[in-house]
Structure formats: C-alpha cells, structure tokens
C-alpha cells in the first residue's frame, strides 16, 4: 500500500500549501492514506477544529501533533470529539485525547498511526520507547494491521535515529517532526522500516522555521524582549515523505521525500 506523510503545517501559508497542492499529489500518486502534523497550523501555534476540517477536506485522513497541541484552548474539548486528531501518546495519564488510532482505508487496509514525543531538549515526558512498545503489543504488522506509522516529534536526530533502529522491522514508517527542516536521510532501514529524521514543514522556507525572520534573528543577536513570533507569509512548500509497502509484510519497498512549491528544490516521487 501507499502512504503519504506531510510535515508540520505552519500557519495560513502551510495550510494553503496543503489545500493547493495535496489534491493534485493525491491524483498523481494515489496514496491509500494521508497523515500530516498540524500542531502549528493556527498561526504557528496549535490547531483548531475548523482547521482540522479544512485539512480533512483537502485529503488528509489523520492529523498528528506535538508540544504545541494545547496552544489553542478550544482544542482541549474538541480533541475528545475527533478520533482522527492525535496528541503524543506519552503525555501523562488522564490527558485529553488519544495518541494512537487504527483506521480503515477506502480499499479496506488497516493503518495504525502513533504520535509520540521525544525527551531530549523537550518536555519531561514518559519514556517514548516504552510507550510505543506497550502500544504495539497488540498490533501485528502484515496481519492485524497493514501499515504502522509513527510520528516521532522531537529535537535530537540521535534520539530519533535510535528510535528508528529500535523499532526497525516492526513498523512501516518512523518519521520525525518538530524541527521544520527536511533531513536528507530518507531510507529503508536494515529490517525493512522506512525512516526519515524529519519530514520538514509545510510552510514558507524564507523564514526561521516558518516564522517571520526579524524577531527570531533579534532574539539570537540581542538579549532583549522581542515581539511575539508570527508565521511567515510567503509562498509555501508542501513537504513530506511517501512510502510504498509490501502488502504481505507491511514493510517498506521504497520511501522518497516529497517537496512541491515554494523555495526548496522540487522532488516528486514516481507514480
């Protein structure tokens, strides 16, 4: 089967990159399932129910998030009503929402999506390795589910790579989010799991990780208060990862980066 994952959607420009480009990408690549990280979709800070519906209308099936999930307060109650919106699995017990879902595609395949957050340079959370171990105990790739996708939201590439190797051969795709920069390590690991340290962002790359440049630059060059960060407003890039798996095993046959629109070099997988 074929699955498309899109990196962090940042602000209005990121949403427009999805709504403008994703329908055509779906027609060209015919993915069975589409997942995107939407935690920065509301002006760079969080997501709303209205934005969720906008992304679903564009062709997204499931939305993952991360440390900015609660920035828009309305989402605290909304997330309980939307099984296709996930928050990190290793948040404390009792946190609203869910960190894993199993979904059926239009052609009958079953896709498990797990959203988990790293710990290096991030909030102190439960162990992501142990959380995923427990979550996948009942999921047998190629049997009970056809595809297992893990959105690994974190800063450190070392932690992400260690995670990828820890679950290699037991999941279909481990893909990083959060840093908003696409890495060049798209590959199939030794035991058949697709991997990329960070999928990049859907947003304006003439920016500082999707934000207008002046305020972040001033923060780094002067130890003075600066205005609140604002999402950049130039042309956006649709940025993500495309995976094709063996239907018998659920493991990757190929994985390729995808970049369409905006300033980055353009990459489109073969249909």
Which of the residues are catalytic? 68
How far apart (Å, rounded) are the C-alpha atoms in residues 266 and 260?
A: 5
How far apart (Å, rounded) are the C-alpha atoms in residues 138 and 254?
A: 26
Nearest residue to 250 (alpha-carbon basis) of 103, 106, 139: 139
Whether the Cβ atoms of residue 210 and residue 201 lie closer than 8 Å to each other: yes
Question: Residue length, the chain?
Answer: 271
* DSSP-derived secondary structure for 183-218: -S--EE-TTS-EEES-B-EEB-SSSBTTB-SHHHHH
Burial (Cβ within 10 Å: 0-12, 13-18, ≥19) of residue 39: buried
**C-alpha triplet 79, 85, 91: angle, nearest 5°:** 70
How far apart (Å, rounded) are the C-alpha atoms in residues 160 and 198?
A: 9
């Amino acid at each position: 089967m074929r699955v498309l994952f899109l990196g962090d959607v940042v602000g209005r420009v990121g949403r427009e990159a999805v709504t403008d480009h994703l329908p055509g990408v779906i027609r060209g690549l015919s993915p069975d399932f589409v997942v995107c990280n939407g935690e920065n979709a509301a002006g760079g800070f969080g997501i709303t129910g209205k934005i969720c519906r906008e992304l679903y209308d564009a062709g997204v099936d499931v939305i993952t998030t991360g440390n900015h999930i609660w920035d828009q307060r309305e989402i605290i109650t909304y997330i309980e009503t939307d099984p296709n919106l996930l928050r990190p699995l290793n948040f404390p017990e009792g946190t609203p929402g869910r960190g894993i879902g199993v979904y059926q595609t239009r052609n009958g395949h079953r896709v498990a999506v797990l959203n988990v957050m790293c710990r290096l340079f991030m909030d102190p959370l439960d162990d992501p390795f142990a959380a995923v171990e427990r979550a996948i105990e009942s999921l047998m790739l190629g049997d009970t589910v056809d595809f297992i996708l893990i959105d690994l939201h974190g800063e450190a590439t070392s932690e992400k790579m260690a995670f990828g190797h820890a679950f290699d051969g037991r999941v279909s795709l481990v893909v990083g989010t959060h840093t908003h920069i696409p890495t060049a390590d798209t590959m199939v690991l030794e035991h058949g799991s697709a991997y990329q340290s960070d999928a990049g962002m859907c947003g304006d790359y003439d920016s500082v990780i999707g934000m207008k440049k002046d305020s972040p630059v001033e923060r780094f060059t002067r130890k003075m208060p600066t205005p609140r960060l604002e999402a950049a407003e130039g042309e956006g890039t649709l940025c993500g990862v495309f995976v094709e798996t063996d239907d018998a095993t659920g493991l990757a046959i190929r994985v390729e980066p995808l970049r369409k629109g905006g300033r980055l070099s353009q990459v489109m997988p073969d249909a």
